Structure 1
Amino acid sequence: MPSPFDLTGKRALVTGSSRGLGLAMAKALAEAGATVVLNARDAVALGAAAQDLAATGATVHAVAFDVTNRESINEAIKHIEDEIGPIDILVNNAGMQFRSSLESFPPEKFDQLIATNLTSVFNVSQPVSRHMISRGQGKIINTCSLMSGMARAAIAPYAASKAAVANITRGMAVDWAPHGLNVNGIAPGYFATELNESLSKNPKFNSWLEARTPMGRWGRPEELGGAVVFLASGAASFINGHILYVDGAFSATA
């Protein structure tokens, strides 16, 4: 019997995948058999990531575009659909962080953060969904956050953006499930990535996190692999509008 987690023959576009959690999820999808399309704005970093992933035997394409630029997105989606093949799986992972107390938060950074974390999910999903709807199937997975359901000091705009990503995920599921699409979110807890480098190098925060997380440690990027493969696969055929927390039980404890 074929494995319900086998993604052979599927094509997956992962935004923000030249490093960190995006690259880790792309690797997991490739290991499950999918052809992966990596994306980032930095063409040099993107090319290096694609080369490294291809060296493992994966089938990889690199398409540089800015997830905040609709014209760039539309051109890229058309190129992928026409030249690489139908997008079966979309992982909206591009994101950014900026830390500041809310009263001092630069307005231009607020706009940039919302555009990158939230508006990009709509920007990319809309044109991709139109192709998926015409085919009657497709998987969309949005990267939410532990902060989709809570907040911490100095990251209020980030928390707001990720709460909105969680709810637009539910809205996409409601609108597109009748057309055969599955739309779900993954909410990572604290993972040791470049985005969190300033926190992981802070002894006080590191001690607090290890004490606060029941599993007693940071997450490793590769530990998102099972979640993304599951939601992208036939094993999750009746899961829609769900936010899957991958956080070492952080959100389960008071």
Structure 2
Amino acid sequence: MSNPVDYQNLFRLDGRRALLIGAGGIGGEAGLALAAHGAQVVAADRDPAVAKATAEAVSGESLELDITDPEAVERAAEQLGDLDVVVLTAAMNVRKRILDYTPEEFDRVVNLNLRGTFSVFRAFGARMVARGSGSIIGFSSIRGRTVEPGQSVYAATKAGLEMLVRTAAVEFGEAGVRVNAIAPGVVETPLTQQIKNDPGWYQAYATKGALGRWSKPSELAGAVVYLASDASSFVTGSTLAVDGGWTAVDGRFTPPT
């Protein structure tokens, strides 16, 4: 057999540099997993303390970065130079019904979740395309496909992110750059504390998915390593659902069969 694949090391990331934008929660776990597989990790966050804590945990670099500032994103891309992997987890949500949403709240959510994603793809994608390799991983959500009252703008930004991923995958693909998304379900992080504090709400979310529970941030890390590594060398323009079967189920009621 010619050119055998080294399956034993298919997920290894030795010698590769990975930028993690959004270094807390899911991002922090992703950083630990990338480093465990050999990557040199740069932890970036608009909160320098969060970036520093994750950087120390992975023996990497830290960077203060606000992706709502396109010029700051461009400067970061120039400063960091060649990167093999970019992981973007930074996002926000304002849970309000459409009739209660203010224009200012709309702008805040869209500026971070969608405009920020565009800036990251543009700045770091340009350098990967010029070099001819790289993997960009954005974080979508089950809300990019399924919604509930109060999730309109957040859901719209996540659906938009998935279309940016697909378009970037097509435009960057000839240069050998892959672009994919991960769509988590409900994850136990500080951002979901409001839901966790309500037992009925918490349980309703837990039983919506096929596995009957919430996920931990660490359960998203394997998907990040997969999409960053050669194990996914022919995967681009895809959204990988890591949602415990949430989007496979059409409701919480289990009828008699």
For 1:41, the equivalent position in structure 2 comes to 46
Matched, 1:231 2:236: no
Aligned to 1:222: 218
User: CA separation in 2, counterparts of 1:41 and 1:210?
Assistant: 31
- Indicate whether 1:8 and 2:4 are aligned: no
User: Residue 124 of structure 2: which of 128, 134, 138 is its match?
Assistant: 128
Cα distance in 2 for partners of 1:212, 1:133 equals: 40
CA distance in 2: counterparts of 1:103 and 1:11, whole angstroms: 44
The 2-side partners of 1:250 and 1:240 are apart by 23
**Any conservation in 1 of the 2:31–2:54 contact (CA below 8 Å)?**
no
Equivalent positions of 1:172-191 (< 5 A) are 172-191=168-187
Counterpart of 1:61?
Answer: 61
Work out the number of aligned pairs and report it. 244
Whole-angstrom distance in 1 between the partners of 2:179 and 2:85? 10
Alignment partner, residue 250 of structure 1: 246
Pairing 1:104-123 to 2, within 5 Å after superposition? 104-123=100-119
Deviations 1:37-88 (Å, cap 9, x if unpaired)?
A: 111111123223322x1xxxx331101011010111111111111xxxx111
CA positional deviation for 1:117: 0.6
Gaps of 5+ in 1: none
In structure 2, the residue corresponding to 1:179 is in which secondary structure? coil
Matched, 1:148 2:144: yes
Aligned-partner residue type, residue 48 of structure 1: A
**CA RMSD in angstroms, aligned pairs only:** 1.1
Q: Structure 2 CA distance, aligned partners of 1:24 and 1:253?
A: 27
Structure 1 residue 130 displacement after superposition:
1.4
d(CA) in 1 for partners of 2:55, 2:227: 23
Retained in 1: the 8 A contact 2:143–2:151? no
CA–CA separation in structure 2 for the residues paired with 1:123 and 1:29: 23
Find the aligned partners of 2:113 and 2:162 in 1 and give their Cα distance.
11
Q: Secondary structure at the match of 1:74?
A: helix
Larger radius of gyration: 2
Q: TM-score by structure 2 length?
A: 0.92
Identity, % of aligned positions: 34
Structure 1 CA distance, aligned partners of 2:51 and 2:227?
Answer: 25
State the distance in 2 between where 1:136 and 1:87 align: 11
SS of equivalent residue, structure 1 residue 218: coil
- Quote the offset at 1:194 in angstroms: 1.0
In the alignment, residue 76 of structure 1 is paired with which amino acid? Answer: A
AA of the residue aligned to 2:219: E
* Distance in 2 (alpha carbons) for counterparts of 1:70 and 1:187: 25
2:17 is the counterpart of 1:21: no
Q: Secondary structure at the match of 2:28?
A: helix
Amino acid at match of 1:46: A
Q: Could you tell me which residue of structure 2 aligns to residue 74 of structure 1?
A: 74
**Which stretch has the larger CA shift, 119-128 or 39-48?**
39-48
